[in-house]
Amino acid sequence: MLTALVSKANAQVPVELFVGQEKATIDLQFFRFFKDREGKQSRWLFFNRNRASVDYRMTSSVYRPQFGFTEAISYNPPALKGFAPVAVAQVFSAGVYPKLGVQYSRSHRDWVIFSWLVTETLASPDLDYFLLLRYTPALNDRWRVFLQAETLNTIPLHAEGSAVFIQRLRAGLKRMSWQWGLGTDLVQNKAADPSFDANMGIFLRYEF
């Protein structure tokens, strides 16, 4: 199904391998508008993300591999100037989470802004705020700077939940379809037993 959607959306698919001092992750992510019958850009935007991580301390009982899949479809009428209603489905190691909310998307050759504010449709929902900023200014005809900042904040709307704040930062160079450089993944959990993790390392990214 994913292959069919990618073909229909005529999307490039960036894949990132990130190797840090604690974990290694692989991340496949893209967002593209579907094409209409005439081959022109429609108002339907498809966002997809597949992410998996492996902790070097993994045993049979703790620090097990984690994965997450996110699929989102939004309807983007020009009158809303980048804002759109969005439906999101997320599959994590802990379960499946359907969500609804508002999305904002703007892009240019040198920059991308992609964000949403959604809430789960379950009995005890969480509120999610996601923001992706990417900036790739040209250095010359062949080389570009690659800068990317991403944040995902989860705020519980019920007493039993705990807030989680995630930031992922990347800084490096881009040449043709390749990007590489330094990065860090920061995770802060505001549970009864708070935790903070920082995974710093290098990334290699390729756009198919």
H or E element that contains 71: strand 66-75
C-alpha–C-alpha distance, residues 52 and 18, integer Å: 11
Tell me: the pLDDT tens digits for 179-204?
999 999 999 998 767 889 999 999 99
C-alpha–C-alpha distance, residues 123 and 158, integer Å: 9
Please report whether residue 166 resides in a domain: yes
Domain boundaries, position 175? 2-198
pTM assigned to the model? 0.87
Give Cα separations from 9 to 12, 38, 149, 176 (angstroms).
Answer: 9, 13, 25, 22
The DSSP call for residue 158 is S
Q: Is the dihedral of CA 24, 148, 85, 10 positive or negative?
A: negative
Half-sphere exposure of 175 (CA within 13 A, CB side): 5
> At 2, is the pLDDT very low, low, confident or very high (cuts 50, 70, 90)?
very low
Beta-carbon count within 10 A of 109 CB: 9
- pLDDT (0 to 100) of residue 12: 66
Helix, strand, coil abundance in the chain, percent, nearest 5: 5, 65, 25
Please report whether residue 207 resides in a domain: no
Tell me: the pLDDT tens digits for 90-145?
998 778 899 999 999 998 889 999 999 999 998 888 899 999 999 999 999 999 99
Tell me: the pLDDT tens digits for 50-99?
999 999 999 988 889 999 999 999 999 999 999 999 999 999 877 889 99
Please report whether residue 205 resides in a domain: no
Compare 181 and 37 and report the one with higher pLDDT.
Answer: 181
Please report whether residue 203 resides in a domain: no
- pLDDT (0 to 100) of residue 1: 44
* Number of independent structural domains in the chain: 1
Please report whether residue 208 resides in a domain: no
